[in-house]
């Protein structure tokens, strides 16, 4: 069976090996997932993160789960186990819609082939589908980059928030993919990266990725963004997304909304780079997007270092929602979507 190996994940055929993003860039640790329960824990604990990467990881989790029950003789019993696997994986992270998209896609393949194929054959088909999801993600990201780089000019400096690079996808990246594509097209692009508290994905992951790629990068704390914009240092903002509603409202890592407000105030275009699988046409507006609230310890501590007394009350939403009127354009693999978003998103999904 075909295998895949990228910076984010490696499929061996019997396990999925993930780079543990909680410890980057100081330590390069890998986690080997041999069961769907291992996959569920890795998604929930943020060993792997980023909507497209979560989706692909969940697909391989579905396959590992199917392999755990491959000795069952009864197909109906086997499919019931697949439903339990799907349920377990779907409960890991509520906001990133790619998780549910990938699991739905895997479940449809299982359902469509259940009666006509033996269980071993069905598992092979499921494995092929998971690999297809992974390889498609890489090509989709490159198409997003190709479409988005046209929005950047030679000499631009881009502000990005959180990490929407190779580590948030199977490879290449969405927001960072646009920057990579612009540079590959001969444009000189520099980057300012928000640190992105409390998990520091911008500081730990984005700067690490960009430095490894030789892209000039400056790290700033989250509360510096407005002042950097006022000084005229930023020409565009590009972020990723975890879920986009039908009306163009965007759920992304907490702090994105603040960056969008600041960009609007300073007349700076605010772009969202995401695959069509991140657009949830069943969700009408951002008000309907579930926002994950994570452990208070992520704010009280930085890695293992305690920052405040344990008794301090903490509110820790992992995402916020940027209303569509603050979004200049959404960059997808099928092209650039502009307002009116609901009309244009609906039209795109009808094609």
CA distance 147 to 21: 28
Cα angle 95, 99, 101 (rounded to 5 degrees) comes to: 110
- Tell me the two tokens of residue 202: 């911008």
Distance between CA atoms of 209 and 346, rounded to whole angstroms?
A: 34
**Cα dihedral across residues 298, 39, 283, 149: positive or negative:** positive
Judge whether 242 counts as a catalytic residue.
Answer: yes
DSSP per-residue string spanning 228-275: HHHTT--SEEEE--SEEETTS-EEEETTHHHHHHHHHHTT--EEEE--
> Comparing C-alpha atoms, which of 9, 112, 127 is closest to residue 59?
127
Give CA–CA dist 178/167, Å, rounded: 15
Catalytic residue among 38, 242, 249, 280: 242
Separation CA 66–CA 54 (nearest Å): 18
186: left (phi over 0), alpha (psi -120 to 50) or beta: left
* Residue appearing with tokens 């980023």: 50
What end-to-end distance do the CA atoms of the chain give, in Å? Answer: 34
**CA 69 – CA 88 distance, rounded (Å):** 15
Residues with a catalytic annotation lie at 242
């Amino acid at each position: 069976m075909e295998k895949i190996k990228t910076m984010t994940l490696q499929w061996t055929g019997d396990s999925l090996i993930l780079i543990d993003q909680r410890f980057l860039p100081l330590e390069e640790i890998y986690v080997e997932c041999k069961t769907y329960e291992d996959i569920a824990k890795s998604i929930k604990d943020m060993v792997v993160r980023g909507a497209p990467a979560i989706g692909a990881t969940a697909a391989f989790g579905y396959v590992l789960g199917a392999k755990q029950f491959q000795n069952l003789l009864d197909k109906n019993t086997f499919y019931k186990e697949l439903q339990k696997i799907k349920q377990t994986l779907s409960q890991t992270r509520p906001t990133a819609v790619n998780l549910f998209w990938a699991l739905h896609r895997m479940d449809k393949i299982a359902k469509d082939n259940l009666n006509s194929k033996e269980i071993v054959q069905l598992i092979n088909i499921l494995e092929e589908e998971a690999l297809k999801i992974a390889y498609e993600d890489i090509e989709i990201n490159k198409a997003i980059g190709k479409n988005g780089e046209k929005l950047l000019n030679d000499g631009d400096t881009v502000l990005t928030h959180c990490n929407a690079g190779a580590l948030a996808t199977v490879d290449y990246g969405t927001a960072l993919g646009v920057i990579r594509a612009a540079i590959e097209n001969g444009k000189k692009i520099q980057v300012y990266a928000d640190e992105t508290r409390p998990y520091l994905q911008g500081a730990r992951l984005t700067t690490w990725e960009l430095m490894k790629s030789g892209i000039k990068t400056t790290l700033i704390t989250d509360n510096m963004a407005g002042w950097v914009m006022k000084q005229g240092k930023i020409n565009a903002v590009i972020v990723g997304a975890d879920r986009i509603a039908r009306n163009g409202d965007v759920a992304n890592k907490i702090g994105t909304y603040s960056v969008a407000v600041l960009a609007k105030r300073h007349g700076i275009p605010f772009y969202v780079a995401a695959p069509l699988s991140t657009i949830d046409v069943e969700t009408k507006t951002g008000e309907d997007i579930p926002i994950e609230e994570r452990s208070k310890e992520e704010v009280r501590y930085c890695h293992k270092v305690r920052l405040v007394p344990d008794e301090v009350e903490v509110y820790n939403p992992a995402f916020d929602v940027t209303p569509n009127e603050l979004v200049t354009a959404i960059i997808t693999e099928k092209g650039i979507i502009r307002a009116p978003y609901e009309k244009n998103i609906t039209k795109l999904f009808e094609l």
